[in-house]
Amino acid sequence: MYPKSLQQLIEKFKMLPGVGEKTAERYALMIMNLEKEEVEQFSNALMEVKTKIHKCSCCGNLTENDLCDICSDPQRDKGVICVVQDAKDILALERMREYRGVYHVLGGVISTNKGILPSDLNIKTLTDRVNENTKEVIVATNPTLEGETTALYLAKILGEKTNVTRLAHGLPMGGHLDYTDELTLSKAMENRHKI
């Protein structure tokens, strides 16, 4: 058994996805061997993401400010809103470098199995955002059963106010947006269809 403080650090590393006992041990021993200054920087970086990062008050993207970089960019077209399930999907779509609209992060998808209802998601803020200046809402939830259900639900509640479109098929069913390559995403965006 390691000394208590070292064991504690090992336990913390084991909380990370994909980190088992052996890897956690390696990480903890590595930290122990770093210069004090480096360990301080490491621990400050951990605290900073926790204290500085929060959700954009408009779209739910991650930011250090009230509005995220995309919402506060005057070059972005506020009339086109791409709806994603997680903030990390924004990164995937931004990698295409083609999309010039803004985003809206739902924070999940509707799932009867998991008991996730529309009221559990960031949908009210979306309906509040959509107005006469909104030309299109592109639903880019993952191509899963839940993703499709969510897309249909959004089309039902927003369809009278604006055009609601869905990324084209061609994305692998059951796949995840953030694992999809840029070219496939770009094609899916180009061939999106009305729902």
Q: Which residues bind Zn ion (CB under 5 A)?
A: 56, 58-59, 61, 68, 71
For residues 61 and 180, which CB has a smaller minimum distance to Zn ion in the complex?
A: 61
CB-nearer residue toward Zn ion: 58 or 80:
58
In the complex, what is the shortest distance from the CB of residue 58 to Zn ion, in angstroms, rounded to a whole number? 5
Distances (CA, A) of 181 to 42, 91, 92, 178, 186: 32, 12, 8, 8, 9
Nearer to Zn ion, 10 or 58 (CB): 58
For the bound state, the minimum distance from the C-beta of residue 59 to Zn ion, rounded and expressed in Å, comes to: 3
How near is the Cβ of 151 to Zn ion at its closest, in Å? 21
* CB nearer Zn ion, residue 60 or residue 147: 60
CA distance 31 to 36: 9
Least separation in angstroms between residue 33's CB and Zn ion is 41
Contacts of 40 (CB under 8 A, 6+ apart): none
